[in-house]
């Protein structure tokens, strides 16, 4: 009997050793596939647009692949139980984005540091290096719970930075950029969303009991008391303040949406979702009545194909050109380097989804959306699998942030909803967005590793 128990213990120990190894091996092959697809995309762009291959760009892409595999090696050493799908998906999306940005640079004859693809490659290297540093430094994600209020303060400070005269970047429509050294612009709101996610998760862990256990029943739902509505009203007013002062509709909607989603996960009360939707509707109504630029976005959305709206300053020209580009791509697209996505203004950033849709078609765009869907589902799965409330809320908040950004941008360029000023995660040109999203990747990897290492509580 003792020998049998010993054999069983040995088998369990071997199984625990093999499982992390299997996860990392799966990640390795998926990473290899992601790098191969990214390299093939760059090659096809060159053949389609230049009828030649520039080996230097492929060498630079190979150097980025080395960085990604360095992160993979780090995970094998310090986070062997991390989710195996998050890193390959982020790598593939980033690679596809670089290929499309490079394709638009070719059409506009941009080279050197003037090329957006060059900057994107540099920011990608910085982002992956930052993710590696975070995975190594953050041994236990639960320590972030101690910095709940400090993170909230840091988030507010980051949102305020663009108002500081000597930091504020010039020439942008929205007051959301800061200038670093006079030659690099950065959007601190991208990092603010991570800080605020930490704050929301920590705050809701502390207050979830009062938010979920009290209230009055009405229409089959338990509605919160007025005192519990205080935090929601504060975040709602903060979002409106961002929209009014920074002319940034996207960040305001993103912050409020993230808080409501985390609030629903923390309490399980549908009434919070209804309150959140009502708040968004009320905020949109007030913004359209008070702010001319928000009213203009709604006009462009509702009457996009009106010739007068198309031709006026700040009209729907971009939106219409993007829709025409999607129509030109059709089902299977024109092929890498064969379309004309550069006709649409900001085709490398705000309108990168129509650019990809034109050259890859609806089929390619659907595949990209499926990658986002898997990425978000893995993030939500990481959160729901956790046994500590902070990790559950934090992972859910980070995943919902990516989901909401994708919905807002894809919905905006396809005229499902009014267009707002956000970036498409991993794909669009923008260093601050890329850094923030790769930090989210590192955090999800760390949380997933911590969740799988937690001892399971078996009942019964």
| Tokens matching residue 212 | 């979920």
Average pLDDT rounded to a whole number, residues 164-180: 65
Output the pLDDT for position 1.
Answer: 46
Does the pLDDT value for residue 48 go beyond 80? Answer: yes
Whole-number average pLDDT of the chain = 83
252 vs 262: CA distance, rounded Å: 16
| 343: helix, strand or coil | helix
Higher-confidence position of 173 and 348 = 348
CA dist 158 and 169 (Å) reads 14
Kindly give, in sequence order, each residue whose CB lies less than 8 Å from that of residue 122, ignoring residues fewer than 6 positions away: 431
Question: Is 257 within 8 Å of 400 (Cβ atoms)?
Answer: yes
Which range has the worst mean pLDDT, 35-44, 151-160, 362-371? 151-160
3-class DSSP assignment, residue 130: helix
Segment 270-293 mean pLDDT? 78
Long-range pairs of 395-398 with CB within 8 A, sequence gap ≥ 24: 395/443, 395/444, 395/447, 395/448, 396/261, 396/262, 396/265, 397/197, 397/200, 397/201, 397/258, 397/261, 397/262, 398/194, 398/197, 398/440, 398/443, 398/444
pLDDT over threshold 60, residue 218: no
Nearest to 266 by CA among 228, 220, 217, 211: 211
Q: What's the pLDDT band for 63 if we cut at 50, 70, 90?
A: confident
Lowest-confidence pick of 74-78, 191-195, 222-226, 454-458: 454-458
């Amino acid at each position: 009997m003792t020998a049998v128990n010993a054999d069983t213990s040995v088998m369990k120990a071997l199984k625990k050793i093999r499982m992390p190894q299997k996860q990392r091996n799966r990640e390795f092959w998926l990473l290899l596939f992601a790098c191969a697809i990214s390299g093939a995309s760059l090659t096809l762009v060159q053949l389609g647009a230049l009828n030649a291959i520039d080996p230097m760009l492929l060498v630079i892409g190979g150097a980025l692949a080395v960085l990604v595999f360095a992160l993979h090696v780090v995970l094998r050493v310090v986070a062997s139980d991390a989710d195996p799908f998050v890193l390959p998906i982020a790598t593939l999306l980033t690679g596809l984005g670089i290929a499309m940005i490079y394709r638009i640079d070719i059409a506009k004859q941009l080279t050197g540091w003037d090329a957006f693809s060059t900057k994107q490659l540099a920011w990608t290297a910085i982002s992956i290096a930052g993710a590696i540093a975070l995975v190594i430094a953050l041994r236990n994600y639960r320590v972030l719970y101690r910095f709940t209020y400090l993170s909230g303060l840091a988030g507010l400070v980051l949102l305020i930075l663009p108002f500081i005269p000597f930091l504020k970047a010039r020439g942008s429509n929205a007051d959301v950029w800061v200038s670093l050294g006079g030659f690099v612009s950065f959007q601190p709101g991208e990092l603010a969303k991570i800080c605020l996610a930490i704050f929301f998760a920590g705050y809701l862990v502390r207050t979830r009991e009062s938010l979920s256990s009290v209230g009055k029943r009405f229409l089959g739902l338990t509605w919160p008391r007025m005192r519990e509505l205080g935090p929601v009203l504060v975040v709602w007013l903060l979002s409106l303040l961002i929209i009014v002062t920074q002319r940034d509709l996207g960040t305001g909607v993103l912050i409020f949406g993230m808080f409501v989603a985390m609030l629903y996960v923390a309490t399980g009360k549908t009434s919070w979702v209804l309150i959140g939707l009502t708040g968004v509707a009320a905020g949109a109504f007030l913004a359209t009545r008070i702010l001319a630029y928000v009213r203009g976005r709604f006009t462009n959305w509702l009457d996009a194909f009106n010739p007068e709206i198309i031709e006026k300053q700040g009209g729907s020209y971009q939106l219409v050109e993007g829709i025409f580009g999607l129509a030109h791509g059709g089902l299977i697209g024109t092929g890498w380097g064969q379309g004309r996505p550069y006709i649409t203004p900001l085709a490398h950033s705000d309108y990168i989804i129509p650019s990809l849709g034109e050259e890859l078609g609806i089929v390619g765009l659907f595949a990209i959306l499926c990658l986002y869907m898997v990425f978000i589902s893995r993030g939500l799965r990481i959160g729901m699998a956790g046994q500590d409330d902070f990790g559950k809320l934090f992972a859910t908040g980070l995943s919902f942030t990516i989901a909401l950004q994708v919905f807002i941008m894809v919905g905006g360029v396809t005229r499902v909803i009014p267009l707002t000023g956000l970036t498409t995660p991993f794909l669009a040109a923008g260093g601050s967005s890329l850094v923030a999203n790769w930090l989210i990747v590192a955090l999800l990897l760390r949380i997933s590793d911590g969740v799988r290492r937690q001892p399971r509580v078996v009942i019964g």
